[in-house]
Structure 1
Amino acid sequence: MTLTFARNSKTAFMFPGQGAQAVGMGLELYRGSNASKEVFEMVDEALGRPLSKIMFEGPEEDLRETKNAQPGIMAVSLACIEAMKENISEESMPVPYLMAGHSLGEYTALAASGVLSVMDTALLVQERGELMQKACDSNPGTMAAVLGLDEMVLQEIARESGVFVSNINTEEQIVISGEKISVARAMDLASARGAKKVIPLKVGGAFHSGLMEPAKAGLMEFIDGLKFNDPAVPIIANCTGTPLHSGNEIKGELITQIAGCVQWKKSVDFMIKSGITNFLEIGPGRALGGMVKKIDRTANVASINDIDSIVAISRN
């Protein structure tokens, strides 16, 4: 996607979540940007293991593991920002008015907005992933995407089948989660009541659902040990679709978010109402930009994930 935007227009930075990972992500940044290389080295050092080797070389099944995918995606997004600073002049550098991240991406926004250091963010993301995995082991579950069904109808199906609405991505794309037998029943009900498509997701558990409640206590304890600054740029909360302005607000959001619904459509709607016309998806994949376009066809959207895309922005 190419981006055409006026320099006086408002811009939002968006950060992707788990599922955006791919073997080789970040390698071109590592080779072509000293500032990016430093990010990958900091994350490896913080985690005490060569995560970048798994990101660059695989194997895919290792990268897909939550403990690797989540900090890996975060690292690529932050490396992109550092490469932007290195390759774009100050007068041409996009300046975010708001930031937002999808699930894991909300954590990336913490580092990007100065709430936490890169190393503290990496440690927090790793802890979150481990706590989520423990919750998955204790309460096995799964997720499914439902396309083309009214949200109110799907909420009723969720009540009937005992599943949770986990992501409201666009008007047409909603994700449910829960115990496997309950999700299977909900999928059948959704198809019977007019869903255009129902897609089982290849995930390790029922993320953003009540099955993640056991992860909250450990996450709260870990968060309490970190110093949260106020964000330099407001971050749109996944759970409410409204801006977070303080470190204390952000702490509460992260605790709620691990078992709460990601209100992505509401977040994008808020950004649009706030005057955002330029949406920069920073990191691997292009899923968020596609969602924004589904919500507002007139939005200017671009994905930044390598040096070429950064250079293209600088020439805009």
Structure 2
Amino acid sequence: MGKKVVLLFSGQGAQKVGMGQDLAAAYPKAKALIDRADETLGFKLSEAMFQGPIEELTRTSRCQPALYTHGLAVLEVLKDLVPDLEVAACAGLSLGEFTAHAAAGTFDFETGLKLVYQRGSFMEEACEETKGGMAALIGGEESAVRELAAECDVDVANFNSPGQIVVSGTEEGIANVIARAKDKGIRKAVPLPVAGAYHSRLMKSAQDKLASVLQSTSFKVTDIPVVSNYEADVVTSEIVIRSTLERQVTGSVRWVESMQLLLKEGHDLFLELGPGGVLGGFMGRIQKGVKVISIEDVKGIEAAVAELNA
């Protein structure tokens, strides 16, 4: 009987220059997967990952395939080093949901890579066509955040953890949110360094373009449950997979509810595959004491393998 784990995959914003470089140098399976990404895309994604500059890696059309490839490279190595690893479920933050589907076997590596590259490109185009931004609201009631978002005509983008909700919309709308947050009892409003208004109506053109691509893509429901951000529930059919991946482009990321669903089902060991340890931090605020092992590099893999094989 193997160690049962839930895999969590990072979302956009977690990328960092150097991601995956030490993995590729230390583990042939990681290098092979990153090489496949370069070959599939027809450009050197690995150069942006390993060398940057950060401005290039942060481009939506680069960071989305980079995070997807990095998360799955970590998984390849883990499967090799922990042969009895049993994946009980998968989830990913926004973009990470595509990585979660690839890990569960919904589609193969190349299919998912092409999807996230196209998704990132469509979102990059939407950012260039609209003037938008995002802000994290810290220490406020959900009802107050929803009220403020409605008054400023912006959308609620991410429910990341209790006391951290992200809003998204026009530059003017976000400026109004930041100016008025304290009036609603919200402790802090922090503008985010992003290229546009992700998970808002300003991404509608990207959603429509992605919908067309998803229609011509085949999906397989596997034995490994995948939790959708959009519905905060396990996807159960090809139609639901297609619909949730489409609608999350403009819809809210319901991360708190997604994690609560997994916790309610009794899962108690989570592996975060991706840079930064952000999802582990969110989990600490969703439910204290839940074990999350965050893995992004060789040092992290070695520590995780020692713990999982103990």
Calculate the TM-score normalised by the size of structure 1: 0.94
Q: Partner residue of 2:12? A: 18
Q: Partner residue of 1:119? A: 110
User: Which ranges of structure 2 fall in alignment gaps of 5 or more residues?
Assistant: none
Specify which of 28, 32, 39 is matched with residue 22 of structure 2: 28
1:96 deviates by: 2.1
1:277 deviates by: 0.8
SS in 2 for 1:285: helix
Q: Partner residue of 1:65? A: 59
Q: Partner residue of 1:179? A: 170
For the pair 1:140 / 2:128, whether they are aligned, the reply is no
Contact 1:166–1:177, Cα closer than 8 Å, also in 2: yes
| Distance in 1 of aligned mates of 2:305 and 2:208 | 44
Contact 1:114–1:231, Cα closer than 8 Å, also in 2: yes
| Distance in 1 of aligned mates of 2:141 and 2:194 | 24
Amino acid at match of 1:191: K
- The 3 A distance-change label for structure 1 pair 305 and 191 is same
For the pair 1:237 / 2:228, whether they are aligned, the reply is yes
Percent pairwise identity: 36
SS in 2 for 1:213: helix
SS in 1 for 2:231: coil
Specify which of 207, 210, 224 is matched with residue 216 of structure 1: 207
Specify which of 241, 253, 276 is matched with residue 285 of structure 1: 276
For the pair 1:269 / 2:260, whether they are aligned, the reply is yes
Q: Partner residue of 1:258? A: 249
| Distance in 2 of aligned mates of 1:251 and 1:168 | 22
| Distance in 2 of aligned mates of 1:17 and 1:299 | 20
Q: Partner residue of 2:72? A: 78
Contact 2:154–2:169, Cα closer than 8 Å, also in 1: yes
| Distance in 2 of aligned mates of 1:18 and 1:187 | 22
What are the Cα deviations for residues 254-283 of structure 1, in whole angstroms up to 9, with x where unaligned? 111000000000111111101011111011
For the pair 1:49 / 2:43, whether they are aligned, the reply is yes
Contact 1:283–1:303, Cα closer than 8 Å, also in 2: yes
Specify which of 224, 234, 248 is matched with residue 239 of structure 2: 248
User: How do 1:144-155 residues align onto structure 2 when only pairs under 5 Å count?
Assistant: 144-155=135-146
SS in 2 for 1:276: coil
Q: Partner residue of 1:4? A: none
Q: Partner residue of 2:156? A: 165
- The 3 A distance-change label for structure 1 pair 268 and 87 is same
| Distance in 2 of aligned mates of 1:102 and 1:71 | 14
Aligned residue pair count:
307
1:60 deviates by: 1.2
| Distance in 2 of aligned mates of 1:70 and 1:8 | 31
Q: Partner residue of 1:197? A: 188
| Distance in 1 of aligned mates of 2:2 and 2:124 | 44
Q: Partner residue of 1:315? A: 306
Calculate the TM-score normalised by the size of structure 2: 0.96
User: Which ranges of structure 1 fall in alignment gaps of 5 or more residues?
Assistant: 1-6
| Distance in 2 of aligned mates of 1:69 and 1:84 | 22
| Distance in 2 of aligned mates of 1:81 and 1:292 | 20
Contact 1:166–1:262, Cα closer than 8 Å, also in 2: yes
CA RMSD of aligned residues (A): 1.4
1:10 deviates by: 4.8
SS in 2 for 1:203: coil
| Distance in 1 of aligned mates of 2:26 and 2:181 | 47
SS in 2 for 1:214: helix
SS in 1 for 2:136: strand
Amino acid at match of 2:25: R
What are the Cα deviations for residues 122-180 of structure 1, in whole angstroms up to 9, with x where unaligned? 11001101111222222220000000000001111111110100000111100001000
SS in 2 for 1:254: helix
What are the Cα deviations for residues 270-315 of structure 1, in whole angstroms up to 9, with x where unaligned? 1110101111101111000000011111201110112332222222
What are the Cα deviations for residues 163-215 of structure 1, in whole angstroms up to 9, with x where unaligned? 10000011110000100001111112212222121100010110001111112
Amino acid at match of 1:126: Y
Q: Choose 67-76 or 231-240, whichever is displaced more.
A: 231-240
- The 3 A distance-change label for structure 1 pair 229 and 209 is same
| Distance in 2 of aligned mates of 1:105 and 1:231 | 18
